[in-house]
Every structure is written in C-alpha cells, then in structure tokens.
Structure 1
Amino acid sequence: MMTEGMFSNYFLPGIWITIQVTVFSALLGVVVAFVIGTLRTSRLWIVRFLSGVYFELFRGMSSLVLMFWLVFSVPLILQWQFVPMYAGVLALGLTYGAYGSEVVRGALAAVPPAQREAGIALGFTRFQRLRRIEIPQAWPEMVPPFNNLLIELLKGTALVSTITVADMTYAGNLVRIGSNESAPIYTLLLVLYFVFAFILTRGMRVLERHAKAGVGQAPPRKGLWSRLSLRESAGEGSGALTAGGAAR
C-alpha cells in the first residue's frame, strides 16, 4: 500500500521534475516556433526552404525516438554524453517547436496585407514590422493553438521516464513496484496530469484575454461574478430611471 513516505520521497520530486521539463521544453519550443515560423514567411526562397526542411523533419519525427537517439547514439558518434533530462527537454522543445512554427506562420499570414504595406510605407525594416505591426496583431490568434500544444507537451513529458528521468510517471512506476498496487497509482497520475492541464488552460485563457484586449478585441467575461456584476449594473440603471421619473 502506498504510504505518505512513498508520496513525499517519490511523487513530490517527480512532480517538480515534470514541472521543470514542461517549463524548459515550452520555453525552447516558443523560441523555435517564432524563429522558424517567421523565417517561413521570408521573401528569400532559400530561407523559406531551409526553415521548411526543419519543419517537415521535426514534425515527422518521433519525440521518443529522438530522445533515444540523443541519449544512446550521440555518445557513440560524438563521444559526448547528454544528461537525460537535457536530452528530454531538447527533444520535446525541438519537436513541439516545429508544430508551433506552423501556428506562427499561419497567424502572421492572416495579418491583412494592408498592415504590412503601411509598415513598408513608413520605412520600417522587416524586424520592425514584425515587432510593431504583425506579431501584436497575430499574437491573439496564436494563443488558443499554443494552449493545445502546451497541454500536449505536458502529457508528452511522460516520455522522459523512458530515459530514466525521474518525473511523475517514473516515480509512479517505482511506487507501483514497491507497493504492488497499480490502480491507485495510475489513477493518481491521471488526476495529477489533469490538474496540471487544467491550471495551464486557465492561465492561457487569461493570457488570451489580455492579448485580445491589447488589440481591442477583449471577449466578454463569463461566469458567476460577471452575471452578478451585470445584474448590479442593471439594477443601478433601473434605479436611476426610477429616480429620473420621480424627479419629473
């Protein structure tokens, strides 16, 4: 039976490792996504070709096999050993960054051409147009698909357990072996991944709201507090009308 000591000694460190792998992989993935995504919109065909090769290569590559290659093949080729956690972060970041680059490319392509032409007329460089015009307008459209990719990345971190990184899944397997119980352990893992995914989703919803507010597209708030505030404002409005009628 799983004890409190097993949870504190195995699961809590595993949760911390999962958080680290998710955060570092996401940061690397965002950098790769923006670099490759913007390069794929370049006017130079060679830049578009090379960035497209990266996209097709890593989109069609298995993250798990890439981890195995980094951990077991690179030492044989380069005589240099990857730390397993770094290999997992690199494999996940490069792979999901390739997926994210298509999100960036599509969102930039959706910016009205007149906006880019206005930047050219103002004498902006390519980098200035991206920073001041295109990315601010495309960013709100990137957040929802980035949210999906972030959730997939979180679930994909379980793959690092296969290269001996002691994440939640690896810790769960150790506790299962020690306690000889499968159902409670894997149920707890399912719940933990769901909770983390839910927290990430809520955080990305807040980010999406702020992104849309930045371009004047803030969606109306939904939920109990928004309905209460609407009722209060309606009540104040009706009270003002009644007072106005009485004054007359």
Structure 2
Amino acid sequence: MLNSLPLYLNGVWVTVQITVAGAALALALSFAAGLLGSARRRWIRAIGRVYTEFFRGVAALVLMYWLFYALPYVGFRLDPMFAAILALGLNVGAYGGEVVRGAVNAVPRAQIEATTALNMGYVQRMRLVVIPQAWAAMLPPMGNLLIELMKGSAVVGLITVSDLTFVVRQQWSSGGDTLVVWGLALLFYFLIAQALLLGVRYLERRANARLGRGPAFRAAPEPAAASAGGSGR
C-alpha cells in the first residue's frame, strides 16, 4: 500500500487543481450572472436568466461528456482536464448566480438610495456598499457549492482525467483490498473538504469583521453592569 501512496497523492493533487480552477471559473460566472440578474433593465436580466436556467438544468456529467466527446465532431478538441473544469465551472456557476443575485437584492434599499443621494456611480456604489455586504451574506452558501463542486469532480475520470477516484478505481481493479482502497478515498475527500471549509470560514470571519460583525467589534459591557459586583461594598 505504501508503494501506491504517490499515486494516491497525485490523484489528490489533480482533484485539488480541478476544484480550485473550477471554483475560480464558477465564482466569476456567478458574479456575472448574479449582477446581470439583479440589473434594472429586463433584457439584461434575461441574459443572466438564460445562462442560469440552462446550465442549472443540464447535468454536469452530460455537459462534460458533450464538451469532451461531442465537440471534436465539430472541430473542437478540448484537453480532458480543461473540459472537466469548464463543465463543473459552468454548472456550479449557474447555481452560484442565484446566490449572488439573492445576496445583492438583500442589501437594504435605503442604503442604495443613500448612495444615489451621495452621487455615487454604479461601480463605486457596488464596490463600496453593495458587494461588501453581499459578499458576507453569500459566503456560507458559496461554501456549500464549493464542496459540491469538489465532490462532482469524482466523475472526471470518465473522460480520462487521473483524479483521486480514477486512481482508486485503478488500484481496486488491480486487486487492492476493497475496504482499504475505498476507505482511503473517503479519507482523502474528507480532508480536502475540511481544508476548503476552513478557507471559507476564514473568509467569512474577515468579511464580517470588515462590516463590524466580528468578535473584535462586540460592544463593551455597560458601565452599570460592569460595576454591579462592586456596588455592594
């Protein structure tokens, strides 16, 4: 089993690469779709809605197959890893778009009106007021989507990507002990998920601290309450 450890670690590294690259693409698409979906003009909202509804309604595995196996018939051949990242990013980005749209629309209307009264432009208003508050609200559901993306990467071996599941299946088919081989798969995926969750929670703490919601910004105790213990002297 120790001889196979480098193979497992290589599979873990490929899984991490796909997860990080897919998450970056999904985040960019989420913001694009979410901001389009929260726009005032109906035709702009329609663009975001078309992307969101289409890619939410298509299975990531089917999209992955289409990108890798069908596109060559029309003259486009994608690298297996790029096809996997693209499929997962497009799929998860569609779900993330709804998260971004909901978080942006949840910013109190009075604050939007205040930025208008201060003569802020759209970019300035989004950068200074809307996005910081929306970012803090969207991080928890985005963390869930990140874990779903990581778990969704377990099927990329079907388009010849040597990820963790692909390596595990090879070791299993080569006579490896079923309990040990798949137990290692469970352990590695759990460790990857925990590392991702720690990163998301760190971002949550930073986002909330910037908005004055972190532990460092808790109000000090009232003087009367603080001196209650000594009032009976």
Could you state the TM-score of these two structures normalised by the residue count of structure 2? 0.91
The corresponding residue for 1:130 is 126
Would the aligned equivalents of 1:212 and 1:219 in 2 still touch at CA under 8 Å?
A: no
The corresponding residue for 1:225 is none
Q: Secondary structure at the match of 2:138?
A: helix
The corresponding residue for 1:218 is 214
**Given the alignment of the two structures, is residue 80 of structure 1 paired with residue 98 of structure 2, yes or no?**
no
**TM alignment of 1:1-248, pairs within 5 A:** 3-8=1-6, 10-77=7-74, 79-219=75-215
Would the aligned equivalents of 2:15 and 2:164 in 1 still touch at CA under 8 Å?
A: yes
Aligned pair count reads 223
Matched to 1:56, the amino acid is: E
How far residue 72 of structure 1 moved from its aligned partner, in angstroms, is: 0.7
The structure whose Rg is larger is 1
Identical columns (%): 44
Would the aligned equivalents of 2:16 and 2:192 in 1 still touch at CA under 8 Å?
A: no
Matched to 2:174, the amino acid is: G
**Tell me, which stretches of 5 or more residues in structure 2 are unaligned?**
217-225
What per-residue deviation string (whole Å, max 9, x for no partner) do you get for residues 63-120 of structure 1?
000000001110102x121101000000000110111111110011110011111111
Would the aligned equivalents of 1:172 and 1:186 in 2 still touch at CA under 8 Å?
A: yes
How far residue 181 of structure 1 moved from its aligned partner, in angstroms, is: 2.4
Would the aligned equivalents of 1:14 and 1:170 in 2 still touch at CA under 8 Å?
A: yes
Higher deviation after alignment, 174-183 or 134-143? 174-183
Would the aligned equivalents of 2:55 and 2:90 in 1 still touch at CA under 8 Å?
A: yes
Could you state the TM-score of these two structures normalised by the residue count of structure 1? 0.85
What per-residue deviation string (whole Å, max 9, x for no partner) do you get for residues 6-34 of structure 1?
221x2111111001000000000000001
Would the aligned equivalents of 1:70 and 1:82 in 2 still touch at CA under 8 Å?
A: yes
RMSD: 1.9
